[in-house]
Structure 1
């Protein structure tokens, strides 16, 4: 116990010169210090991990949709998506230029970030000796000025991937062939306080990097963790121009990304792709070349893995932001 107490005192998540402590969450600096205590035990990403981006509730939707789109004598119509294929062109824009464009846009109109997001994602469940895939799902999270909010999760028909299945109206509703997996309403006052990144993002790229490191302890020093932190942050917040510029600046400086070319994403949008490759894994980020918004993030394997029936180039997961 003494060792643990010494570590906690050393981290000093609530320094003496901070505001008087009451029954409130740690600020992001306190969270960062506290989480660094256990960062050494954090499990690193590998190709052999089980990708669990889709919640357990989606398992029921997979069965339901599989029964819907397949006959009694056929196999479920659930298939892994094909990897995005960027191509170089004369219209390519560098990551540094995109960051400059984003900063110029933010200077003209800073705007503000909005708590909540609209995102479609898919992940591959890995099980030794078996083919295991999930269906795409779409999530819309909203938070209101009084702290009330709502969550809508819809699984999509795998026969028609790459099109939104939630109409972000008032109230939100499903469209096309979506199947509701989860629908929640939250009372006033909650305001997402039980989420990661519950505090509004700070001003400045350096401050934003420290803020991201609260929930991904090595995001301020490890490119892979930074990309993971950006992905998680964008599930909680829809960034305004200022935060878009800060994110683009961080990606251009600290994410270890190299240009891959232009790409048309699964939503039919034109973007500029950048990739980072490590042992067995390639991470791709697709940005809007005009304003720096993150459109997509995708992970693919870079080598065969017979145990999990993976081949080089197989998609492990993808995320597409719709707002």
Structure 2
């Protein structure tokens, strides 16, 4: 116990001169210090990958049942096939990342619009278990929050026979408009305001401040490119960034050494974007698709770059994919 107490005192997440702390949450700096302390000497990346695989395998079982059990008034869904990787095509019309960053910064100077809590996304992930075939999990989710802190969450298992077709219509209230199995449909009372989510505090302005903010919930985002990309994807599942945060995100991405242009991409929702690749160590690759006009992150795709017979995946298989509808 002495060693743990010494480490905690060394981290000093709440110093003696910060006033009364027991009646309020820790600030971002305190959260960051505690999370860095907890992640020290863990073999962080290996642990994260193993835990993700176990969680995805459990989710695969649940969603596989949802996809094969018809709901009231809905047609049965079918088992999903694995999505193919997005294909990028280089051309002379490609827009460099530096140019997209400049456009985003110019838009941020012209518009005072703030980030909004909530998101509308389609996602696919590969549920893996040792010795078993992976299961692809297609779903769409819409989260919305109101000024009084009330909100809603709707999650639908999408019909894999129609990949990329939105199944949720945004509105008061949101509703399903196409085939799909509703997995969650929740309403939150006033005053909640996403307080139980990650990234519950409003994001700060400035790229460096945003990096530190992201690192509170994804330790390593302040120093590791793969963790930074993962953190951005997680952040965008909670927030729809305004022009300033959008420019800050692009500034962070543009600073990643090894992020390379991949060419033009038509994503799974039929949108044209500019792709950029980053290869991780070991065995993974991200493809980030940006709107070249305003710098919005349209998609983030993660694929494996080498075979893994134990989990029955091959180089080029899509591990996860997220497309932001709004």
Give the equivalent residue in structure 2 for 1:140.
142
> Hey, what does 2:261 align to over in structure 1?
259
Partner residue in 1 for 2:26: 26
How far the C-alpha of 1:95 sits from its partner, in A, is: 1.4
Matched with 2:44 is: 43
Deviates more, 1:210-219 or 1:42-51: 42-51
1:217 and 1:152, CA in 2 relative to 1: closer, same or farther beyond 3 A? same
What is the Cα deviation at residue 242 of structure 1? 0.5
Greater shift, 44-53 or 280-289, is seen at: 44-53
1:19–1:288 CA distance, 2 compared to 1 (3 A)? farther
Cα RMSD over matched residues? 2.1
Post-superposition offset of 1:77:
3.4
> 1:291 matched to which residue of 2?
294
For residues 199 and 57 of structure 2, the distance between their equivalents in structure 1, rounded to whole angstroms, comes to 19
Aligned to 1:168: 170
Change in Cα spacing, 1:49 to 1:42, as seen in structure 2 (3 Å) is: same
- Corresponding residue of 2:14: 14
Q: Which one of the candidate residues 294, 306, 310 is aligned to 2:309?
A: 306
Equivalent residue number for residue 89 of structure 2: 87
Normalised by the length of structure 2, the TM-score is: 0.91
Q: Corresponding residue for 2:121?
A: 119
2:172 is the alignment partner of 1:178: no
Give the Cα separation in 1 of the matches to 2:68 and 2:94. 40
Gaps of 5+ in 1: 69-75
Q: Which region of structure 1 is more displaced relative to structure 2, 189-198 or 40-49?
A: 40-49
Cα distance in structure 1, aligned partners of 2:286 and 2:95: 19
1:116-147: CA deviation from partner (whole Å, max 9, x where unpaired): 11111111111223212133111111111111
Residue 66 (structure 1) shift: 3.2
Cα deviation for residue 63 of structure 1 reads 2.2
**Cross-structure match for 1:71:** none
CA contact (8 A) 2:134 2:311 kept: no
Residue number in structure 2 paired with 1:189: 191
Question: Contact 1:50–1:127 at 8 Å: present in 2 too?
Answer: no
Question: 234-243 or 120-129: which moved more?
Answer: 120-129
* Conservation of the 8 A alpha-carbon contact between 2:118 and 2:237: yes
CA–CA separation in structure 2 for the residues paired with 1:2 and 1:128: 39
- SS of residue matched to 1:97: helix
**For the Cα contact (< 8 Å) 1:50–1:126, is it kept in 2?**
no
TM-score with structure 1 length normalisation?
0.92
Structure 1 residues 161-240: aligned runs within 5 Å? 161-240=163-242
Choose 249-258 or 145-154, whichever is displaced more: 249-258
| Residues 47 and 280 in structure 1, CA contact (< 8 A), matched pair in contact too | no
Tell me whether 20-29 or 209-218 shows the greater mean CA deviation.
Answer: 20-29
Aligned to 2:156, the other structure's residue is in SS state strand
Q: In 1, Cα distance between the equivalents of 2:50 and 2:197?
A: 28
Distance 2:309 2:22 in 1: 54
Report the CA distance between 1:29 and its aligned residue: 1.2
Separation of aligned partners in 1, 2:43 and 2:213: 18
**Cα deviation digits, residues 196-230 of structure 1 (max 9, x gap):** 11100011001000000101111010001101110
Note if 1:101 corresponds to 2:103.
Answer: yes
Q: Is the 8 A contact 2:53 2:129 kept in 1?
A: no
Does structure 1 conserve the Cα–Cα contact (< 8 Å) formed by 2:90 and 2:262? yes
Change (3 A) 1:80 1:49: farther
Helix, strand or coil: the match of 1:283?
strand
Instruction: Tell me the equivalent position of 2:75.
Output: none
